[in-house]
Amino acid sequence: MKIGILGTGGVGRTLGAHLSAAGHDVMLAGRATPHEVGEGWAAEAPNRRYGTFADAAAHGEVVLNCTSGLHSVAAVRAAGVERLAGKVLVDVANPLDFSQGFPPSLAVGNTDSLGEQLQALAPEARVVKALNTVAASVMVAPAKLPGEHVLPLCGDDAEAKALVRGWLQAWFGWQHFVDLGPIHAARGQEAWLLLWTRLYGALGTGDFNIVLSRAPQG
C-alpha cells in the first residue's frame, strides 16, 4: 500500500519504519528538500522515500498527519487539500503547547479541536482522529501492554473509520477500539493529553493505555 506520512519526528519515523518493514511503500514528509533527517530515514530501505508535504499527500492512498500539532494546519495546507480529496487522513497529532514548559497546555480545545480544524480545512478528505492517545512506542506495539486496552477514534465518515480500524489491526495488531462518533469528539481525544502528560510524569513511562471497565450489558 502507498502510505504518506506528514512529519519527520519520532512518531512519523516510528510508524514509517514499521510500515515499510511490513512491505508498504512509505513516503515521509517534511517542509523542505533537502531534509537531513527525512532523507537519512529514507536511505535505510528501498521502499522508504522522503518528499515534501505535497509529495507525500500525492503519494499516499492513505495519509497520516504526524506533524507538530501547533503547525498541522499549516502542514496540511502545504500538502494541498486538493491532493487529499477522497483520501483517508489519519490525524495522529495533538495541539500541545510547550511554550510554558511541561506539562503542556492545549493550543485549541474545549469548543474546538485540531481534528475539526483539519476536517474544515480539507472538507473532501475523510479525517479520522486516531492513535493520538498513545505513545509512539504503543502505537506500533499494542501487544506490549496487558489487558483489553482501547484506542478511541472519531470522524464523520463511517467507512473511513472502518478502514482505519482494519488497517490498525493489520499493521500493528490493535484489537479494541471505541468509536466516539463524529470528528467533534476529537475535543475529548485531544483533551485526554492533559491527563496523559500527567500520567506520564507520575509513571515515568509512556507505555500505558486506557482499559475500560464497564458494567455487563443487560
Ligand X SMILES: NC(=O)c1ccc[n+]([C@@H]2O[C@H](COP(=O)([O-])OP(=O)(O)OC[C@H]3O[C@@H](n4cnc5c(N)ncnc54)[C@H](OP(=O)(O)O)[C@@H]3O)[C@@H](O)[C@H]2O)c1
Asked if 79 touches ligand X (CB under 6 A), the answer is no
Displacement of CA 132 from its chain's centroid (Å): 5
Asked if 121 touches ligand X (CB under 6 A), the answer is no
81-110: contacts with ligand X (CB under 6 A): 92-94, 96
Asked if 52 touches ligand X (CB under 6 A), the answer is no
Q: 139 with 174: CB under 8 angstroms?
A: no
Stretch that binds ligand X, among 25-33, 115-123, 145-153, 175-183 (CB under 6 A): 25-33
Residue keyed to cell 499516499:
60
Binder of ligand X out of 31, 149, 176, 184 (CB under 6 A): 31
Asked if 186 touches ligand X (CB under 6 A), the answer is no
Residue 68 vs 169, nearer CB to ligand X: 68
Buried b (16+ CB within 10 A) or exposed e, 48-60: bbbbbbbbbbbbb
Binder of ligand X out of 30, 51, 115, 155 (CB under 6 A): 30
Asked if 67 touches ligand X (CB under 6 A), the answer is yes
Binder of ligand X out of 4, 16, 51, 69 (CB under 6 A): 69
In the numeric block, which cell numbers belong to residue 21?
518493514
Shortest separation between residue 24's beta carbon and ligand X, angstroms: 19
Shortest separation between residue 94's beta carbon and ligand X, angstroms: 3
Residue 53 vs 216, nearer CB to ligand X: 53
In the chain, the DSSP E strands lie at 2-6, 25-30, 48-52, 62-65, 88-91, 96-97, 105-106, 126-129, 151-155, 177-179
131-150: contacts with ligand X (CB under 6 A): 132, 135-136
Distance CA 45, CA 84 (A): 26
Asked if 9 touches ligand X (CB under 6 A), the answer is yes
Stretch that binds ligand X, among 66-74, 115-123, 173-181, 208-216 (CB under 6 A): 66-74
Asked if 8 touches ligand X (CB under 6 A), the answer is yes
Distance CA 56, CA 52 (A): 6
Buried b (16+ CB within 10 A) or exposed e, 131-160: bbbbbbebbbebeeeeeebbbbbbbbbeeb
Q: 201 Cβ partners below 8 Å, 6+ apart? A: 102, 103
Backbone angles phi, psi at 152, to 5 degrees: -75, 150
Asked if 12 touches ligand X (CB under 6 A), the answer is yes
Residues making contact with ligand X (CB under 6 A)? 7-12, 30-32, 66-69, 71, 74-75, 92-94, 96, 132, 135-136
